[in-house]
């Protein structure tokens, strides 16, 4: 709504000598000739003939009469009067426009679409377009043009996440638990954004990079740099996890107040969290290095989860219900898409894929004739993948609906796959077997992962000592260390940073690299450009 203050909308047509303050409306209404063209056409007939058309013009004159006769104007008379009349208040000559925004509900129903757009255009996500996940490590040097990278890899994940979220929205509407201001598609928009950014903290070389970072900080040769930290802070580095790095990226690294960024909603942030605990707590849960936030972002995490009412009676935090669906979307696409890529690399065959999906055969209803008429195994694999994902998605949502009461009572931590129907669990077991036995053990991938350790060692050996010296003894920085800090650019430690935050900035810099760029930089540290 646009509101124009004062009488400016009619100002300027005539003068009025009685307008001492300059705010009187004009006395003359504008008269305008309006030309209207009317075109007549005949209705269509079965006979082949030209359509009779005609056009004519009607002239209409505004019928509103003026309020009074036009004032006789005189330049000399106006000059004399204008000298004696001064407006008591300063009146701008430009029109002042006030914008009045309507009262929207507490959460906009389009927020999910907004954050999805922000996520897809943010700088950190653009890096992901060239960061391959597990199987894509095989094809960096030779056949990369044939494969989907992480940007396109996330495409099926967030699409099926959006589908699962929409199913959840209509499920909540049927139960009468969906807020009045929210459309049923609203949960789907939240999940779409969460799935799009769920791997944004993955370092170069994927899970191999995670192990390389952990091993470097756990190496006794590097204890000088690590032991200066608190014990809880040390665990963040010795137990490095891409999930925690991703939470930091969307909340700190890419959330620049003046330069844009993600600015994700609380439900979107919570939907990204698969492990609602820190690295110190993860050790108490079995020693697995799986956690979702650093000590530096603990306050942000607690603020989000407290606001959403996810704190349990035990004092810890429960997963957001939508995070179970985000995990289900990821699990659904993960195995079948990697198998499809493995077939492109001739690691497995179409027959292997068909064998894996045998438990789902009665439900998939694959058309043998359609498969035979397809021109290539690539088309056949894509057809099977679409049928599998559709069936598994529907089955996992039925599992979500069946476990809904337990989920809302915070008695179910997931994953949904563990409670899925028997045919889905049997399929996932076969997919996991061929993935671990044939794909993960591929010699090319293994060699590349071993090589990633050398890349990380050269990078961390350069940047961590430089940051350590910058914080602990800035007056003794060597030329090499100065150049290393210069290379870090905006990720270099700041005056207010302590040693812990400066190390996190190193991880921000390295994990934001592509595989190719990390290899290139580490090679340059050897004194060569190749």
Q: Are strands 97-99 and 2-4 parallel, antiparallel or unpaired?
A: antiparallel
- Whether 246 and 372 map to the same domain: the answer is yes
Q: Which whole-number Å values give the CA distances from 163 to 79, 174, 211, 319, in the listed order? A: 72, 17, 34, 20
- Whether 90 and 136 map to the same domain: the answer is no
Burial track 457-481 (b if 16+ CB lie within 10 A, e otherwise): bbbbbbbbbbbbbbbeeeeeeeeeb
How high is the pLDDT of residue 116? 44
Tokens (6 digits) for 361? 């055969």
Contacts of 18 (CB under 8 A, 6+ apart): 24
Domain of residue 480: give its range. Answer: 453-524
Q: pTM value?
A: 0.71
| In-domain check, residue 347 | yes
Cβ 279 vs Cβ 294: under 8 Å: yes
- CATH number, position 165: 1.10.3210.10
How high is the pLDDT of residue 78? 58
- Whether 384 and 405 map to the same domain: the answer is yes
Chain center to CA of 211:
25
The alpha carbon torsion through 442, 444, 446, 451 (nearest 10 deg) reads -170
Q: HSE of 18 in the Cβ direction (CA atoms, 13 Å)?
A: 5
Structural domain total, the chain: 3
- Mean of per-residue pLDDT scores for the chain: 77
- Whether 329 and 289 map to the same domain: the answer is yes
Nearest to 340 by CA among 396, 374, 386, 371: 386
Q: CA–CA separation, 462 vs 526, rounded Å?
A: 11
| In-domain check, residue 224 | no
- Whether 275 and 367 map to the same domain: the answer is yes
- Whether 89 and 122 map to the same domain: the answer is no
Tokens (6 digits) for 274? 């698969």
Q: CA–CA separation, 216 vs 9, rounded Å?
A: 71
| In-domain check, residue 67 | yes
| In-domain check, residue 232 | no
**Domain ends where: 423, 443, 463?**
443
| In-domain check, residue 47 | no
Contacts of 269 (CB under 8 A, 6+ apart): 247, 250, 251, 304
Reduce the DSSP state of residue 222 to 3 states and report it.
Answer: helix
- Whether 118 and 148 map to the same domain: the answer is yes
Q: What is the DSSP letter of 357?
A: T
Q: CA–CA separation, 442 vs 128, rounded Å?
A: 23
Q: CA–CA separation, 197 vs 249, rounded Å?
A: 10
Q: Read off the pLDDT of residues 400-421 as tens digits, 9 standing for 90 and up.
A: 999 999 999 988 888 999 999 9
> Which residues in the chain show pLDDT less than 50?
1-38, 40-62, 85, 91-153
Q: CA–CA separation, 226 vs 379, rounded Å?
A: 51
- Whether 422 and 351 map to the same domain: the answer is yes
Q: CA–CA separation, 191 vs 386, rounded Å?
A: 20
| In-domain check, residue 14 | yes
**Domain ends where: 387, 408, 443?**
443
Cβ 88 vs Cβ 114: under 8 Å: no
Q: Cα 247–250–252 angle (5° rounding)?
A: 90
**Domain ends where: 411, 443, 475?**
443
Reduce the DSSP state of residue 350 to 3 states and report it.
Answer: helix
Alpha helices in 361-421 (DSSP H): 361-364, 368-373, 377-402, 404-408
| In-domain check, residue 21 | yes
- Whether 82 and 175 map to the same domain: the answer is no
Burial track 375-384 (b if 16+ CB lie within 10 A, e otherwise): eeeeebbeeb
- Whether 185 and 85 map to the same domain: the answer is no
| In-domain check, residue 216 | no
- Whether 143 and 290 map to the same domain: the answer is yes
Reduce the DSSP state of residue 225 to 3 states and report it.
Answer: helix
- Whether 174 and 270 map to the same domain: the answer is yes
How high is the pLDDT of residue 65? 55
How high is the pLDDT of residue 260? 64
- Measured from the Cβ of residue 514, the count of other Cβ atoms closer than 10 Å reads 18
């Amino acid at each position: 709504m646009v509101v124009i203050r004062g009488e400016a909308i009619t100002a300027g047509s005539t003068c009025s000598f009685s307008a001492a303050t300059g705010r009187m409306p004009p006395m003359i209404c504008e008269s305008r000739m309006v030309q209207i063209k009317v075109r007549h056409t005949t209705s269509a007939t079965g006979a082949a003939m030209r359509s009779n058309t005609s056009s004519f013009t009607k002239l209409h004159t505004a019928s509103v009469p003026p309020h009074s006769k036009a004032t006789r104007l005189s330049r000399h008379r106006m000059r004399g009067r204008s000298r004696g009349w001064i407006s008591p208040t300063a009146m701008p000559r430009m029109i002042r426009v006030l914008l009045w925004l309507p009262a929207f509900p507490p959460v906009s129903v389009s927020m999910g679409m907004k954050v999805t757009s922000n996520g897809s255009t943010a700088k950190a996500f653009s890096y992901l377009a060239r960061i391959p996940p597990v199987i894509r490590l095989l094809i960096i040097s030779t056949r990369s043009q044939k494969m989907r990278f992480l940007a396109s890899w996330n495409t099926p994940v967030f699409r099926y996440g959006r589908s699962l979220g929409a199913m959840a929205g209509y499920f909540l509407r049927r139960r009468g638990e969906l807020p009045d201001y929210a459309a049923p598609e609203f949960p789907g928009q939240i999940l779409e954004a969460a799935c799009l950014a769920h791997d944004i903290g993955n370092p170069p070389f994927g899970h191999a990079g995670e192990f390389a970072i952990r091993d470097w900080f756990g190496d006794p040769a590097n204890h000088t740099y690590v032991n200066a930290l608190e014990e809880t802070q040390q665990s963040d580095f010795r137990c490095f996890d891409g999930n925690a790095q991703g939470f930091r990226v969307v909340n700190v690294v890419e959330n620049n107040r003046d330069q844009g960024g993600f600015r994700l909603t609380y439900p979107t942030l919570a939907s990204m969290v698969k492990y609602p605990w820190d690295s110190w707590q993860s050790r108490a849960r079995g020693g697995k290095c799986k956690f979702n936030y650093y000590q530096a972002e603990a306050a942000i995490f607690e603020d989000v989860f407290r606001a959403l009412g996810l704190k349990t009676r035990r004092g810890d935090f429960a997963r957001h219900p939508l995070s179970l669906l985000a995990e289900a979307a990821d699990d659904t696409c993960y195995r079948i898409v990697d198998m499809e890529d493995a077939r492109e690399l001739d690691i497995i065959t179409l027959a292997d894929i068909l064998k894996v999906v045998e438990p789902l055969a009665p439900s998939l209803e694959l058309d043998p004739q359609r498969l035979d008429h397809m021109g290539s195994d690539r088309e056949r694999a894509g057809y099977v993948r679409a049928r599998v994902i559709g069936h598994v998605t529907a089955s996992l949502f039925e599992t979500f609906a069946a476990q809904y009461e337990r989920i809302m009572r915070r008695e179910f931590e997931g994953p949904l796959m563990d409670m899925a129907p028997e045919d889905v669990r049997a399929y996932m077991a076969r997919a996991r077997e061929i993935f671990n036995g044939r794909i993960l053990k591929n010699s090319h991938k293994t060699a590349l992962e071993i090589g990633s350790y050398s890349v990380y060692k050269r990078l961390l050996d350069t940047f961590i000592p430089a940051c350590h010296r910058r914080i602990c003894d800035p007056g003794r920085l060597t030329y090499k260390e100065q150049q290393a800090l210069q290379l870090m650019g905006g990720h270099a430690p700041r005056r207010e940073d302590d040693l812990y935050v400066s190390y996190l900035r190193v991880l921000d810099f390295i994990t934001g690299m592509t595989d190719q760029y990390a290899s290139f930089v580490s090679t340059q540290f050897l004194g060569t450009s190749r």
